[in-house]
Amino acid sequence: MLNENQYDLIERFFADELDEQGRADFKRQMQHRAFNEEVKLQNSIRKHLLTERASSPYMQLFKEKARHYKNAAVEENTTSTTATSPTAKAPPSPSLLDWLQGLFQPMPRYAFSMTALVLLGIGSFSWANWNYSNKAIVQEFHEPLLSNVEASQPSNKEYLDQARKAYFANNFRLAEQRLTQISNTDDDDFYEAQSLLAYTYFNLQKYPDAIKQFDVLLQQYFNKLPIDYKDEYRLRWTRLLSYVGQSNTNSDFFRAELNYFLNESESEIYRKKAAALKTKLQSAWRNLVF
C-alpha cells in the first residue's frame, strides 16, 4: 500500500506540477511494482473519464449548440457582406479570441448565447471537479475525530526515561523540562524523579532551587527514596556546595553543615573533602576573586 507522499507525487505528476527533482523521484518510484500499478490505474481512470466526458449527452448538446451559433454567425456576416458588395468574400468565422474580446462590448444575440454556453460548460466542469474529484470525495466521506477526544499524555515512566537520558547526556535543560512534567504518584518513579531534579537544578546552577529540593528530599522523602539516591552524605554535601554556589558561605547553616562533615561525619571520604573545602574557602587567593 502506498503512503500519502506517494499518492501526492502521482497527483502532482498528472497535474504536471513536478519540478526536476520531483520528476527524478517519480522515475525512482516507478521501479516499485505497487507504485507503477497505481500510476497505470489512475491513468486508465483519467482516460476513461475524459472519454465519458467527451461522449456525454451534455457535451454533445454543447457541441451542437456551438456549431449552430457558429454557423449562424457566419451566415449573418455573409449576408451582410453580400448586400453591400456582391463580389466580397465571406469573412472568416469568429475565433475564440474574438469572442473573449467581445465579452466587455455590446454583443449580438448569437454571441451572447455562445458565451453563455462556454461559461456554462466551464462552470459544469469546475462543479464536477469540486464535487467528484478524489480529494472532494475523500473530504466528503472522511469522519473527523470528535472534539472531546484528548491526546494521550506520556506516562511518568516515559518522562523519567527521557529525563535520565538527557541528564546523563549533560542536557540538563531537557532533563528539567521532563522531570517537572512528572505527576505525584507516590511511587519509585516519582521519588527518583524528585532526586534527579535536585541534581539537575545543581548542574544548571539554579542553586536556590537546588537547596529547596535537597531540603525536601532530606526532610520529607528520604525514607521513600530509591536505593541509588538514598545517600544522606551525598545529598547533604551537594546541598552544602549549593550554598557555596550562591555565595552564602557566611550563614550559620553553612558553618554548621561544614562542621558536621569535619567533626561528626563517620565517612572518612567526606571528612577529607570538607577539610579541603575549608582550606580552599580560607585561601588568600579568594581575596583576589571576591
Question: Do 206 and 108 have their domain in common?
Answer: no
The helix (run of H) or strand (run of E) holding residue 25 is helix 20-29
All three cell numbers of 25: 523521484
What's the CA angle centered on 98, arms 97 and 104, to 5 degrees? 100
In a domain, 72, yes or no: yes
Question: Do 75 and 31 have their domain in common?
Answer: no
In a domain, 97, yes or no: yes
Residue with cell 558561605: 249
In a domain, 35, yes or no: yes
Structure confidence by residue, pLDDT tens digits, 114-137: 555 555 666 666 655 666 556 555
Question: Do 253 and 198 have their domain in common?
Answer: yes
Check: CB of residue 211 under 8 Å from CB of residue 243. Answer: yes
pLDDT of residue 207: 94
In a domain, 111, yes or no: yes
Question: Do 272 and 167 have their domain in common?
Answer: yes
Contacts of 238 (CB under 8 A, 6+ apart): 198, 199, 202, 210, 214
* CB-based burial, 181-216: b 16+ in 10 Å, e otherwise: bbeeeeeebbbbbbbbbbbbbbeeebbebbbebbee
Q: How far is CA 238 from CA 29, 32, 199, 231, 250, in A?
A: 59, 60, 8, 11, 17
pLDDT of residue 97: 47
Question: Do 161 and 274 have their domain in common?
Answer: yes
In a domain, 151, yes or no: no
Q: Is pTM, for the whole model, over 0.85?
A: no
Compute the half-sphere exposure of residue 231: CA atoms within 13 Å on the CB side of its CA: 13
The Cα 231–Cα 224 span in angstroms is 12
CATH number at residue 175: 1.25.40
pLDDT of residue 35: 83
Structure confidence by residue, pLDDT tens digits, 166-199: 999 999 999 999 999 998 888 889 999 999 999 9
* CB-based burial, 252-268: b 16+ in 10 Å, e otherwise: eebeebbeebbeebeee
N- to C-terminal Cα separation, the chain:
69
Of 114, 139, 164, the domain-final residue = 139
Residue range of the domain that includes 45: 1-55
Question: Do 45 and 130 have their domain in common?
Answer: no
Question: Do 216 and 98 have their domain in common?
Answer: no
Check: CB of residue 173 under 8 Å from CB of residue 202. Answer: no
Q: Is 264 helix (H, G, I), strand (E, B) or coil?
A: helix
The burial of 217, by beta-carbon neighbours within 10 Å (0-12 exposed, 13-18 middle, 19 or more buried), is given as: buried
The Cα 22–Cα 238 span in angstroms is 58
Per-residue pLDDT of the chain (290 residues; tens, 9 = 90+): 677 788 888 888 888 888 888 888 888 888 888 888 888 877 776 665 556 555 555 555 555 655 655 565 555 555 555 544 445 555 555 554 454 445 444 444 444 455 555 556 666 666 556 665 565 556 555 544 443 434 446 788 899 999 999 999 999 999 999 999 998 888 889 999 999 999 999 999 999 999 999 999 999 999 999 998 899 999 999 999 999 999 888 999 999 999 999 998 888 999 999 999 989 888 887 776 65
pLDDT of residue 262: 93
Q: How many domains does the chain have?
A: 3
In a domain, 253, yes or no: yes
Question: Do 191 and 168 have their domain in common?
Answer: yes
How many CB atoms are closer than 10 A to CB 239?
A: 23
CA 181 to chain CA mean position, Å: 22
